[in-house]
A and B are shown apart, each in its own frame.
Chain A
Amino acid sequence: MPILNSNLIPDLRTAVALEAALRVILHDEMSLRTTGAVDYLGSINGTLSDTSQVRLAGLDGFDPMQVILPAEDTPIVETALTDAAVPISVARAGIRRDISDLAVLTGVPGSQLDPMRLAYSMVGAYEQFFNVTSAAAIAGLAGVPTGAPMIVTDFYTAIFALEVASVPRDRGYYALLAPQQLADFQSSLRTEGGAVGFQYYETVEQLKIKGQGFVGEFLGVDIYKSDKITGPAFAGGMWGGGCLGYKNGIPAAPLGGVVISPGGEIMVEFSRNAAASTTEVIGTCYLGLSVIEAARGAGIQTS
């Protein structure tokens, strides 16, 4: 009788073999933080508080000069300074994974489910946390829910709102849309006539420059999509530079097994539980994000 594979199972062969390579489950990996769409306003380290006030002052032409009516010696009346302040409070966020020694040692070398891989994974967890926080901030931008799928007009309406408010273009216009909004917008755009068109960034090199989540440009607005803008009523938005800002806190490296990201955005610590033969991998960050000037943004709220 020949040696058959079926006869070798289970003593000499396995019915199902696990592939060595580990694939990541599909999810939205875009990072709004690295696009420049949200201003980085520094860390709160050494400021004596977890909250900073972003100071806004009406200078550089906010108040234009005024004609002084005769007589020629009429005293000029003082113009009061317009000012405002917006608080940014930094809060702690984190994620923890525990993995046992046995789970690591039974793995195929390079199978990538070990403490270091889990530590690396926390970068993505932080970026998505940033996106969730940004999406929550954008949901508060002024806009009227249309109750209908997004069309090109909604995009124009948002641009008009920004232009009417004199939001400068030199710092860029950005839009963050839910994937469904983007699909509806592009569907509407297909039937649009005229000279303007959606500029897709299709090459890998172009996408690398702009980062994942960047889908293209329309009328000078960089468009990003994120599934962190959730339905059923999608509250995306468009804004100019200076609308949103964030601060962070950079932890001083404690003693022990610690990895800190290059920008100090997140700290990953390894905590050993010898009694349980497990390693705890804990990533933490300190982040605060606020709408700095709501007038620089407009909501795109569609269904």
Chain B
Amino acid sequence: MAKKFEATPIVPRSVGDLLPTPPNDQFILTHHPERWQLAETADGGYEILPILTKFLLRPGLNGVRARPSGGIDYSETRGIYQDRGWVFLPATVIEGGYLREYQARGGKVYADRWTTPRSLGGGSRVVWDIDHTGYNDFRRGLVESGTIGKPDPLIFDFLVAQYSRRIQYEQQKGHLPHVQKSIEANEEKKEALIEIKKTKKPTRKRNKKAPPAEKGA
């Protein structure tokens, strides 16, 4: 009986089609319960989202091994990390996966799906565009689905303290207009954290210095 083989469609690539950046390693996104950050919402408010760290699948790093038969073995390291509280998010945690692979001149380049490369003028310089909205939607979804647990109340206190230190430092130069703006922005973030901790909901945009409503309006 004849056996059929499947072909994969390919597009011939010239050097110009290859990403002019050094190759890097595949990764798995991870989260530790202590790592959270304040992020701006689409409507100008704030929410608290988990910080995701890339666990690089790089043989030789943090106990990751290259298998003699090919492939990568990180099972031992993953166990140790999980014992310390880290959550490993498989690439398929989101429909369509979060890992993307690009052909580069020296090998392959890996990035998450919300970070896309763009070459400036066809030259060797590459900029990476980040879809912050999509990335934040993903992170929010991880908490809403229960994949990542909600932040401990102490996390808010820690972040508030961090903003307080930043404000305290900036106040030394508060007479400078751009520093004053930064102080106000950090004050706003600090207040947002306190509010989110209290209400357990994202904050909404505040109309600071809004003009008084016209009579009869």
Contact A144 B51 (CB under 8 A): yes
| A interface bracket (residues with beta carbon within 8 Å of B) | 35 or more
Inside 8 A of B55's CB, which chain A residues have their CB? 140
Q: Please encode chain B, from 42 to 76, with 1 for each CB lying within 8 Å of some chain A CB and 0 for all others.
A: 00000000010111101111111110000000001
A137 and B61 in contact, given A144-B35, A145-B51, A157-B162 (Cβ under 8 angstroms): yes
Instruction: Decide yes or no whether B194 CB sits under 8 A from chain A.
Output: no
Contact B35 A137 (CB under 8 A): no
Interface size on B, residues (CB 8 A): 34
| A153 to B37 Cα, complex, angstroms | 17
Q: Which of A133-160 contact B (CB under 8 A)?
A: 133, 136-137, 139-140, 142, 144-148, 151-153, 156-157
From B5-13, B138-146, B164-172, B208-216, the one touching the partner chain is B164-172
Contact B77 A87 (CB under 8 A): yes
Instruction: Decide yes or no whether A32 CB sits under 8 A from chain B.
Output: no
Instruction: Decide yes or no whether A288 CB sits under 8 A from chain B.
Output: yes
Contact B77 A140 (CB under 8 A): no
Q: Give min CB distance, B187 to chain A, whole Å.
A: 14
Inside 8 A of B36's CB, which chain A residues have their CB? 144
Instruction: Decide yes or no whether B128 CB sits under 8 A from chain A.
Output: yes
From A88-96, A165-173, A206-214, A269-277, the one touching the partner chain is A88-96
Contact A87 B80 (CB under 8 A): yes
A51 and B172 in contact, given A87-B80, A142-B32 (Cβ under 8 angstroms): no
Complex A-B, nearest 3 residue pairs according to Cβ-Cβ distance, in ascending order:
A91-B60, A87-B63, A91-B59
Residue pairs across A and B with Cβ atoms less than 8 A apart, 12 shown, are A87-B62, A89-B65, A91-B64, A91-B65, A93-B60, A133-B61, A136-B61, A140-B62, A144-B36, A145-B37, A156-B165, A294-B84
